[in-house]
Structure 1
Amino acid sequence: MNEPKFPGSPASKYPRYTIIVAGGSGTRMGADRPKQFLELAGEPVLLHTLRRFADPALGVRELVVVLPAGQLETWQTLCAQYNVQIPHALVVGGATRWASVRAGLAQLADRESGVVAVHDGVRPLTPRAVIEATYEAAYNHGAAVAAVVPKDSVRNLSQQGSYALNRARLRLVQTPQCFDLALLRRAYQLPELSTFTDDSSVVEDLHPIQLVEGDYRNLKITTAEDLYVAEALLRAGKG
């Protein structure tokens, strides 16, 4: 687990890296442990996520997992319990997602170029096609984000009440979010702002964001209901 490289990965036309950020507490789920460590189909959620990016077909050279300091020992214990053989670097995160991603980037400080994906540790069902498409779009355009069209009608709140928004012009943002490595470093050298909600919001003042078609199966485990849906998708072979 301490050796982060993938010596057997297929060569691609550019280096690929992944930062998986997992800082959840499980509070909203009413769970007794952080949601990334909850069991999904017999294994921790985070292990499912890690395995998606360790797929040899993707050719990721280094995987970085960012966890709060108090959760590193738990993850190491789980890796031993489940005999996790996926090489990855383990990094201590910060008080915010911004600080955690910055810590993950520091692990890649000596890498000169490539594309880096930032992914939520609790998105365990991301299809390989979505990951591949987002990496490729970032290689071609500098910054790319997986996103889907909202299924429900959306309204915006105003002082007069609310009004309908055109769903066709809206997107629900997912991860992975992929960026040219040098671009993401530049963005994270700027001060943290309260308006930062994800990595694309950190980068967008420096560079346009290309949207890539995501997948509704690429759900984020936030509530108990999400865990049930993820379990059903895996059992049905759709995850």
Structure 2
Amino acid sequence: MSSCIALIVAAGSGQRFGAEQPKQYLDLAGQPVLRRTVEAFRRHPKVSAVRVVINPAFRDLYDAAVAGLDLPEPVAGGASRQDSVRNGLEALADSAPGLVLIHDAARPLIDSDTINAVIAALDTHPAALAAVPVADTLKRGDDGLVAGTVDRSGLWRAQTPQGFRFPAILAAHRDAAGLELTDDAAVAERAGLPVALVPAREENFKVTTPDDLTRATRALDSALSDIRTGSGFDVHRFAEGDHVTLCGVRVPHTQRLDGHSDADVGLHALTDAILGALCAGDIGSHFPPSDPQWRGADSALFLKHAAELVTARGGRIAHVDVTIICERPKVGPHREAMTARVADILGMPVDRVSVKATTTERLGFTGRGEGIAAQAMATIRLPG
């Protein structure tokens, strides 16, 4: 079978969206839009590689969005989408793939069946595009009034991916340089290439406005219908020292917490809460205190591990809540930093992280100042 490379076009500035950064780098249910798009093609068995076309001005955002994915060097885009695609195709010329799929970064909900169908259509056609038949009645407008009804029979709404036999689309793009064609299928049409229509899904819409991003989030959540809640609890006694670590933040104090790692009761309780929601044991079964490699370890490692287990199951963490129980030190002045740190470790929005504190009215071991306790709750969503 000919090699097939997916070319993801992510060089736009997203000005219509109105955000502080391009829409392809915005968060979508815990991951950047671009990352979700890239991963949809990376995990497809018939796609041999993924290459991304970007605006170099946003290289830092790109690197953060695809961190850990081991992608080839991105291609610098051009002044228009057509220029960007041509640059991407030229960058693939040396590898000369048999097929190329060109896809908008802002279509993160592309499904495996549609990718399959576009690739299959290239067995018999030099070009193919995913599209949806027009179902609504179409009106032509003039000065705010209806000027006529348009016959919708035979009309389709073009999506991506648009697939091509590589040599043909590269030649077509080179010949169309400088023109303002609306998509790559139009470039192929101009070159006289027959373009097959491949029925796609409404869910493969393009994220263009904030409402679209909300719609995409809801679509992803609807697929994660197995909603689970886990709880965690941890205690550490005081020992001689000059600070404690709570929810990843160093807090000055007249004592420290005694433990095999950094004794962060907040992160330990939260790690157990996530593991509990997964029915995946407890923190000790994953990081035994008898193992010397965890002596003095940053508890963020434990929490990240629990979060990665959720991701590996195809799920995401929806909300976490941590309560620190102690008389001293005062948590209030550090609460905002703790919330931000937990959100950063878990890679989730700060408005889905709660950190708070309470006392036991000087009752019990925490009331006597002998140590600190923490309890946590975590809500996760897994595929149903």
TM interval, shorter chain, is: 0.7 to 0.9
Q: Is the 8 A contact 1:139 1:180 kept in 2?
A: no
Structure-2 residue corresponding to 1:5: none
How far apart are 1:231 and its partner, in Å?
Answer: 0.2
Q: Is the 8 A contact 2:9 2:104 kept in 1?
A: yes
> Where do residues 65-104 of structure 1 align in structure 2 (5 Å cutoff)?
65-80=52-67, 84-104=68-88
How far apart are 1:23 and its partner, in Å?
Answer: 2.2
Q: Is the 8 A contact 1:26 1:32 kept in 2?
A: no
Deviations 1:50-103 (A, max 9, x none): 01100142x2122110001101222113334xxx32534311111111111111
Instruction: Decide which moves more: 201-210 or 104-113.
Output: 104-113
Q: Percent identity?
A: 35
Structure-2 residue corresponding to 1:225: 211
Q: Is the 8 A contact 1:150 1:167 kept in 2?
A: yes
Partners of 1:205 and 1:62 lie apart in 2 by: 28
Partners of 1:220 and 1:86 lie apart in 2 by: 26
Q: 1:124 aligns with which of 101, 108, 112?
A: 108
Aligned residue identity for 1:215: R
Aligned residue identity for 1:136: A
Partners of 2:15 and 2:94 lie apart in 1 by: 36
> Where do residues 29-68 of structure 1 align in structure 2 (5 Å cutoff)?
29-57=17-45, 59-68=46-55
Gaps of 5+ in 2: 225-382
Q: 2:134 aligns with which of 150, 171, 192?
A: 150
1:205 matches 2:190: yes
Q: 1:138 aligns with which of 109, 117, 122?
A: 122
How far apart are 1:193 and its partner, in Å?
Answer: 4.9
Partners of 2:13 and 2:95 lie apart in 1 by: 31
Aligned residue identity for 2:13: S
Aligned residue identity for 1:16: C
State the superposition RMSD in angstroms: 2.1
Partners of 2:12 and 2:92 lie apart in 1 by: 23
Partners of 2:70 and 2:96 lie apart in 1 by: 24
How far apart are 1:169 and its partner, in Å?
Answer: 1.5
Partners of 2:60 and 2:87 lie apart in 1 by: 18
Deviations 1:204-225 (A, max 9, x none): 0221111000110001000001
Aligned residue identity for 1:199: D
Pairs aligned (count): 223
Rg larger for = 2
How far apart are 1:195 and its partner, in Å?
Answer: 4.2
How far apart are 1:167 and its partner, in Å?
Answer: 2.2
1:23 matches 2:8: no
Deviations 1:138-194 (A, max 9, x none): 232110000001232112357996221222311000000000001111101114354
With normalisation by structure 1, the TM-score equals 0.86
Partners of 2:96 and 2:19 lie apart in 1 by: 41
Partners of 1:37 and 1:235 lie apart in 2 by: 19
Q: 1:179 aligns with which of 160, 164, 178?
A: 164
Partners of 2:65 and 2:118 lie apart in 1 by: 30
Partners of 2:120 and 2:196 lie apart in 1 by: 11
How far apart are 1:126 and its partner, in Å?
Answer: 0.6
Partners of 1:56 and 1:151 lie apart in 2 by: 30
With normalisation by structure 2, the TM-score equals 0.55
How far apart are 1:107 and its partner, in Å?
Answer: 1.6
Instruction: Decide which moves more: 150-159 or 31-40.
Output: 150-159
Aligned residue identity for 1:19: L
Partners of 1:203 and 1:26 lie apart in 2 by: 26
1:86/1:162 CA distance change after superposition, 3 Å: farther
Q: Is the 8 A contact 2:131 2:198 kept in 1?
A: yes
Aligned residue identity for 2:94: D
Partners of 1:148 and 1:128 lie apart in 2 by: 16
